[in-house]
Chain A
């Protein structure tokens, strides 16, 4: 696909007249790339996706998906996109294949076409063996794969994935990444995904936007973003943690920035491998004993920390608790749903 798949200009969503979930964001997703929307819980990722997939009406601003206006041409937009929501939306009471065919019917795809496509997609996500089993018997990873297959039944040009690996264990998460890459290769789509896993964004995405509190605070390829930090990160501790030797370190050539946090120095340096020994020499020359030292090439983690001022790990902690609670609730709801006989 040529040209820009998604163009967003000043997109804004305000809930209940005072809660600004998305605040005048602008970005462009090029055709054929995997674009990652990275941010903590409540940053506005899902709200943005919901506006782009025409489920939520923007308060302000405009956007086009596949060159169709999301406000005025919503039905054209819906025809050219595929969506995998955060939740498991496949019907537990139906079989795998039935779920895919249901999705096909929602797009008005004739049965003879949809049957062929469904078999093809089931093979691709390796669920052919389980297609006649009720979804209630599927594992988390299998359900994710089924969602991926459902979302692709209309051969979308732009594929939206909202937290595609939320709540999955490490192996299943890695497997899901492989499926996403495979699907991308097979169908040459543009993929727009949200995630709060930094390694996921780093590994999968061609470009990443970091969103925090409804605003995009950085955008670029993972490499560009890492390089924008301007160097490697070195951390260092000395025996006498009460002493502050920041000024001493700052005098070392190629040291760009020194921050002392809880007795540890976080030092931004150029050419870490060569500068590190110089720093140690300088500190030792003043009679201090170096107790710990580490040198890291910047990761998206560091980028995130740099731009938002806090670590995503802290947020993840609460998110994990939140999602497990949500899962438990969903289970309870499922049982009640069956009990009431709808």
Chain B
């Protein structure tokens, strides 16, 4: 057998080739790449700038006894606003608050759509061809997850860059270590989420089903989390949901690392949850791919 001698014995062969194929389809398509950049800009500039929550206190004229001087009222209100925002949002600036939430949002979205390419590969016969080659079954799934994770991280970087340009107020003690922490958190959540959505797609031949699942889950995951609004102001039942929503932990971790002074204890809990989430679902994915990729 001549060809056996030329084949590498690396069990992961083909993993990068398949990952790269998915990535190429993405970065070689300028329209998709541009939409990926434009969408977060729209969200940040519309939502982040429109919902200027801090100015609620300063931009109205309260009816108060006339013996208090106007300047004093303005001063008190401004101080009040700062304190309320800092206590509830952790920062005086809502734009910064939601811009960081936006990073989780972009990562979540990219991960959710990662299952779609699995459905297309099955429908178009590409998956069958790959299955007839000696590529490890786990690699087929892992390549999908990996490409989704890389895409998600690149998109998140773009959001971070745009947010910085639009006026993100980064904490004074921000270091390169914090940045690495941000990527670690986003890596874990995208790994877990894309594993889930690729798993849903593993036997499916209908992109409609996949779309329906994504549509059903994206808003709940987004709003039942701290991505746009602090959970402390939510009703108790909703808080329960936010506590099992991985988006909450990813957002909290990134916010602590970018905006706040880091609370080591809370950060450890965030990473523990995200780590467990990622490990559990990616393992389930790889184990099930052995059973369910072929019929």
Q: Do A and B bind each other?
A: yes
Give the residue of A78, A94, A108, A336 whose beta carbon is less than 8 angstroms from that of B21. Answer: A94
Query: Once the chains bind, are A79 and B129 in contact (CB under 8 Å)?
Result: no
Query: Once the chains bind, are A91 and B26 in contact (CB under 8 Å)?
Result: no
From A82, which residue of chain B is reached at the shortest CB distance?
A: B132
> Closest CB of chain B to A112's CB: distance in Å?
10
Q: Which of chain A's residues have a CB closer than 8 A to the CB of B6?
A: 109-110, 113
> Closest CB of chain A to B76's CB: distance in Å?
50
| Chain B binding surface SS class | helix
B3-28 vs A, Cβ < 8 Å mask (1 yes, 0 no): 11011111001101110011011101
A80-98 vs B, Cβ < 8 Å mask (1 yes, 0 no): 1101011111010110001
Query: Once the chains bind, are B128 and A55 in contact (CB under 8 Å)?
Result: yes
Give the residue of B10, B24, B294 whose beta carbon is less than 8 angstroms from that of A56. Answer: B294
Number of B residues near A (Cβ < 8 Å) is 44
> Closest CB of chain A to B147's CB: distance in Å?
9
> Closest CB of chain B to A104's CB: distance in Å?
8
Task: Of the listed stretches B46-54, B60-68, B111-119, B280-288, name the one at the interface; the rest are far from the partner chain.
Answer: B111-119
Query: Given A105-B13, A105-B14, A106-B17 in contact, is the A55-B25 Cβ separation under 8 Å?
Result: no
Query: Once the chains bind, are A108 and B14 in contact (CB under 8 Å)?
Result: yes
Q: Which of chain A's residues have a CB closer than 8 A to the CB of B113?
A: 340-342
Query: Once the chains bind, are A55 and B132 in contact (CB under 8 Å)?
Result: yes
Query: Once the chains bind, are A108 and B25 in contact (CB under 8 Å)?
Result: no
Give Cα A37 to B206, complex, Å: 30
Interface residues of B in 119-163 (CB under 8 A from A): 120, 123-126, 128-135
Query: Once the chains bind, are B29 and A338 in contact (CB under 8 Å)?
Result: yes
Residue B72 is within 8 A (CB to CB) of chain A in the complex:
no
From B110, which residue of chain A is reached at the shortest CB distance?
A: A341
Give Cα A55 to B294, complex, Å: 6
Give Cα A156 to B130, complex, Å: 15
Residue B165 is within 8 A (CB to CB) of chain A in the complex:
no
Give Cα A263 to B28, complex, Å: 64
The 8 closest A-B pairs by CB, nearest first: A87-B125, A105-B17, A108-B13, A342-B117, A341-B32, A106-B133, A108-B8, A78-B134
A-B contact pairs, 26 of them (CB 8 A): A53-B132, A55-B294, A56-B294, A56-B295, A78-B132, A78-B133, A80-B1, A85-B128, A86-B125, A88-B125, A89-B124, A89-B129, A91-B21, A102-B21, A106-B13, A106-B133, A107-B7, A108-B9, A108-B14, A113-B6, A154-B7, A155-B2, A336-B207, A338-B32, A340-B113, A341-B29
